[in-house]
């Protein structure tokens, strides 16, 4: 039987998500990869337990996560809960999402309709054996569904007690502002946007979404903080056969040019001078952005979670370090 580490809250740091009262750990566990039926269950379970033992209370899923079929990550997470973690349900912040292609036919394809969002959450709750999730996201903006319909569906889900808070993912500044206005009128607890964001992917800054979020009390839960593994020590000397790029499991392989390898090595030199790995520095850099509440880190083994949490040991950057990072990124 699993018994959580009694000192699990001694190290992690928790931030309020936007203007809400919900505090999230600075580092959360994303279950996008390596938690489906195509992965080793014992490893997935150990990763979840390792995360919680380190004070990571936030577990982020989606209806379509899991390989070889959609929903298998949620099913496995339900099994992990049943095998000991469920006893700590009130210490966990569990989020899931819907919006991408999920099941056959017009009601389960990529959309934001009331039909899809409500049906999908009912499926997710059943897979995980939950009465409610803490955060429910619309996963991707849908230009073919009235935004009011999407907002009203999410609001109804909260009023039914199936979610405590709502969020959006992959919404730009304009789209977020438009749905936020509807949520304000409905008094829906809309607290978070989940965008991709990293040193190598700064679209939220170019779009102005980060500034808007700060001004309007919306937190960021950022995904792909290591840009699909580029911002690690995996590719400093080439492409390992067992890496994501080596296996062809990621779209960023085309980015790994000789120029990118040089840039990564320069960033790694800055990280080493700070006493960090490249991945730890990349996480710490994000956590210095005012809009960022939490960084969603994926993992393929428990040691990666243990390594990522060490980013919290050095979150401070000197002006010189930040300038040097910007100079490398601009090359």
Structural domains of the chain sorted by starting position, each given as residue range(s) with its CATH number in brackets: 15-228+282-301 (3.20.20.100)
Over residues 148-152, the mean pLDDT reads 98
pLDDT at 243 over 70: no
Confidence at residue 227, expressed as pLDDT on a 0 to 100 scale: 93
Question: What percent of the chain shows pLDDT beyond 70?
Answer: 95
SS (H, E, C) 111-148: CCCHHHHHHHHHHHHHHHCCCCEEEEEECCCCCCCCHH
Over residues 186-200, the mean pLDDT reads 98
**Model pTM score:** 0.95
pLDDT at 1 over 80: yes
pLDDT at 249 over 80: no
Confidence at residue 250, expressed as pLDDT on a 0 to 100 scale: 62
Confidence at residue 237, expressed as pLDDT on a 0 to 100 scale: 83
Q: Tokens 């090359």 label which residue?
A: 331
Note the pLDDT tens digit of each residue in 269-284: 999 999 999 999 999 9
Note the pLDDT tens digit of each residue in 106-119: 999 999 999 999 99
Confidence at residue 245, expressed as pLDDT on a 0 to 100 scale: 58
Confidence at residue 253, expressed as pLDDT on a 0 to 100 scale: 65
Q: Quick count: other Cβ atoms within 10 Å of Cβ 201?
A: 18
The H-or-E segment that residue 49 falls in is: helix 41-53
Confidence at residue 9, expressed as pLDDT on a 0 to 100 scale: 96
Minimum mean pLDDT range among 7-16, 49-58, 214-223: 7-16
Half-sphere exposure of 38 (CA within 13 A, CB side): 11
Over residues 31-48, the mean pLDDT reads 97
Handedness of CA 282, 212, 28, 41 (dihedral sign): negative
């Amino acid at each position: 039987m699993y018994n959580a580490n009694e000192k699990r809250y001694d190290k992690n740091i928790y931030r309020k998500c936007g203007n809400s009262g919900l505090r999230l750990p600075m580092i959360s566990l994303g279950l996008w990869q390596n938690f489906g039926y195509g992965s080793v269950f014992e490893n997935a379970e150990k990763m979840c337990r390792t995360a919680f033992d380190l004070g990571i209370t936030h577990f982020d899923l989606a209806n379509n996560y899991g390989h070889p079929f959609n929903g298998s990550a949620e099913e496995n997470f339900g099994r992990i809960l049943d095998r000991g973690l469920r006893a700590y349900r009130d210490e966990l912040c569990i989020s899931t999402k819907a919006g991408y292609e999920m099941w056959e036919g017009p009601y389960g394809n990529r959309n934001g309709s009331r039909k899809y969002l409500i049906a999908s959450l009912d499926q997710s709750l059943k897979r995980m054996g939950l009465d409610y999730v803490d955060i429910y996201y619309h996963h991707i903006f849908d230009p073919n569904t009235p935004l009011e319909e999407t907002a009203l569906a999410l609001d109804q889900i909260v009023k039914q007690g199936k979610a405590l808070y709502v969020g959006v993912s992959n919404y730009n500044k304009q789209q977020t502002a438009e749905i936020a206005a509807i949520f304000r009128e409905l008094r829906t607890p809309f607290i978070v946007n989940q965008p991709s964001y990293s040193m190598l992917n700064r679209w939220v800054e170019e779009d102005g979404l980060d500034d808007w979020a700060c001004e309007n009390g919306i937190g960021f839960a950022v995904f792909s903080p290591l840009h699909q593994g580029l911002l690690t020590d995996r590719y400093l000397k080439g492409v390992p056969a067992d890496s994501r790029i080596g296996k062809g499991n990621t779209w960023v392989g085309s980015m790994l040019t000789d120029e990118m390898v040089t840039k990564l090595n320069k960033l790694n030199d800055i990280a080493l001078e700070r006493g960090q790995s490249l991945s730890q520095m990349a996480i710490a850099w994000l956590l210095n952005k005012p809009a960022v509440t939490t960084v969603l880190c994926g993992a393929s083994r428990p040691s990666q979670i243990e390594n990522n949490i060490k980013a919290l040991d050095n979150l401070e950057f000197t002006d010189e370090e930040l300038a040097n990072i910007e100079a490398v990124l601009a090359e």
